[in-house]
Structure formats: C-alpha cells, structure tokens
C-alpha cells in the first residue's frame, strides 16, 4: 500500500471500526433483551420430573445468555439492526 492510499483509507477504517463497535453494542442490547424474554417464558427452569437440582438452577442463566447472544448474532428479532441504525444516526448528527 502506498502512502497516498494509506492516508485516504484511514478515515474509512476508522468509520468501519466505529460501525463495528456500534453494531456490537446493538447486538449486546438485543441479546440482553432476548435473555430477559427467554427467562420470562421459563427457558432453563428446572422441571419437577427430571430436574438437575441446584446445579441446573445455577447454570441456567448462562445457558439463556448464550442462547440469546447466538440469536442476536444470527439476526435475532431485528432489534439490533434498529438500535444500530439509531446509534449511527445519532453519531453522524453529533459530528
């Protein structure tokens, strides 16, 4: 890469980095929302007939969190995209 293209591509890399950080934050927010939704519907709760006891109860929150994070990474319910667009508009208006 020559010096001119390095200088002209620096703002592009900075913009991509900022977008990546905003998208990551948006996905984290969607994952947290989905975690709470999964908790509300009872995902990971011990069942009376075939429960894993205290260990299952303690680790069910980890299971919900990871399932929600994977859902958000693969598109989720579209909340992350809406949050990302709103954050990007706000960041662009601040500049």
Q: How does the average pLDDT of the chain come out, rounded?
A: 82
Long-range contacts of 70-75, Cβ-Cβ distance < 8 Å, separation of 24 or more: 71/31, 71/34, 72/27, 72/28, 72/30, 72/31, 72/34, 73/27
Q: In whole angstroms, what is the distance from residue 12 CA to residue 79 CA? A: 26
The structure's pTM equals 0.71
Tens-digit pLDDT profile for residues 30-40: 999 999 999 88
Instruction: Classify residue 68 by burial, with Cβ atoms within 10 Å: 0-12, 13-18, 19+.
Output: buried
Listed range (18-22, 48-52, 68-72, 87-91) with the worst mean pLDDT: 48-52
**pLDDT the model gives residue 57:** 73
- Domain boundary assignment for the chain: 3-94
């Amino acid at each position: 890469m020559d010096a001119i293209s390095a200088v002209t591509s620096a703002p592009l890399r900075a913009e991509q980095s900022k977008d990546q950080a905003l998208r990551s934050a948006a996905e984290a927010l969607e994952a947290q929302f989905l975690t709470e939704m999964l908790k509300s519907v009872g995902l990971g709760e011990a069942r009376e007939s075939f429960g894993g006891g205290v260990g299952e109860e303690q680790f069910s929150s980890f299971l919900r969190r990871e399932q929600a994070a994977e859902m958000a990474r693969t598109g989720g319910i579209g909340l992350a995209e809406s949050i990302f667009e709103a954050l990007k508009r706000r960041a662009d208006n601040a500049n």
